[in-house]
Chains A and B, each alone.
Chain A
């Protein structure tokens, strides 16, 4: 999933995009589209909306590529744009609760996507893992913007805390606090499933 390109090669590619070469931009898109879709999907909850969000993010990258000075890695800058696009999308549509229902529909339909990964650590006291997953997604949607972003980037996209801090423009300790609060809030929401 991670782009297989050295930092200097990436810089050359970005310089060419700044010169206006569309083919270089297409290469950049192909390098980051999988990770971008993963972040967008975990944020908005369904593939169609994630596709729109990702397209919007790439358009923003193309428009403002000259503003990228290289202080952070391109990936970090791009993930920040994807997260902001996703949050804008959620704010615009006000349907963050509904989109998580669509995840289950996506799985049922089968469609162009492969089957869901089996959850290996099935808890004994959780009556229905399927229902638990659904409730978990619903609970994630109720978290605050920062808590949700931190949790999704950390536990569903496996970004390091340092990188999340750069993406969300805050300190690593702030990220840790948001993560801690998010996890305990999720536990509170799902507590009756453990009894």
Chain B
């Protein structure tokens, strides 16, 4: 029974002529003593014989004339719709796909930076405004400090002139 199980697969190979000589001998030996496997082999052989003798049509010239006319019509339609097939511009899909993916990636990063909170706890858009304000105010401050320096300078000059006159 174990031999039957082991040889089950080999039965098909036996009919398909894809067995080694050693396996063929082994199966032959087994088949001589096992009517059950003999019956199985006959059944498989019948199935394969019937399948391989299936009626395949060999149509006449009239069939092929109609077939070729139909095919030519379809091809003419395709050619007239899309121009000459050989001159069709070649579209390289892979680079286009990579570029599209990169665009989406950078767009996503951009949206993320502008939409979601910055590590400092302030949206970047708002932070820019704050920075500009700070910058302006610091500029005004420096201007003011410059003016203060000028006043000091003038005061100093006045003092020197007074000393000279004295």
Contact = CB atoms under 8 A, between A and B. Distances in A.
B47 interface: yes
A63 B46 contact: no
A183 B59 contact: no
Contacts of B44: 183, 187
A47 interface: yes
B58 interface: yes
A63 B86 CA distance: 9
Contacts of A50: 57
Contact of B70 (A55, A66, A103, A180): A55
Nearest to A137: B54
A59 interface: yes
A26 B54 CA distance: 29
Interface in B27-81: 39-40, 42-60, 62-64, 67-68, 70-71, 74-75, 78
A112 interface: yes
A187 B47 contact: yes
Contacts of B58: 34, 113-114
A79 interface: no
Count class of interface residues, chain B:
35 or more
A183 B48 contact: yes
Contacts of B85: 20, 62-63, 65-66
State the main secondary structure of chain B at its contact with A: helix
A21 B46 CA distance: 47
Interface in A106-149: 106-107, 112-114, 116-121, 123, 126, 129, 132-133, 136-137, 140
B43 A20 contact: no
A33 interface: yes
A89 interface: no
B67 A54 contact: yes
Contacts of A54: 67
B57 A55 contact: no
18 contacts: A20-B84, A37-B57, A51-B63, A51-B67, A112-B60, A117-B53, A117-B55, A119-B53, A121-B53, A123-B46, A132-B50, A156-B51, A179-B16, A180-B9, A183-B47, A184-B12, A187-B43, A194-B39
Interface of A: 18-20, 22, 25-26, 29, 33-34, 37-38, 41-42, 47, 50-51, 54-55, 58-59, 62-63, 65-66, 103, 106-107, 112-114, 116-121, 123, 126, 129, 132-133, 136-137, 140, 151, 154-156, 158, 161, 176, 179-180, 183-184, 186-187, 190-191, 194
Interface of B: 8-9, 12-13, 16, 18, 39-40, 42-60, 62-64, 67-68, 70-71, 74-75, 78, 84-88
8 smallest A-B Cβ distances: which pairs?
A116-B55, A20-B86, A121-B49, A155-B51, A123-B46, A113-B57, A38-B56, A119-B53
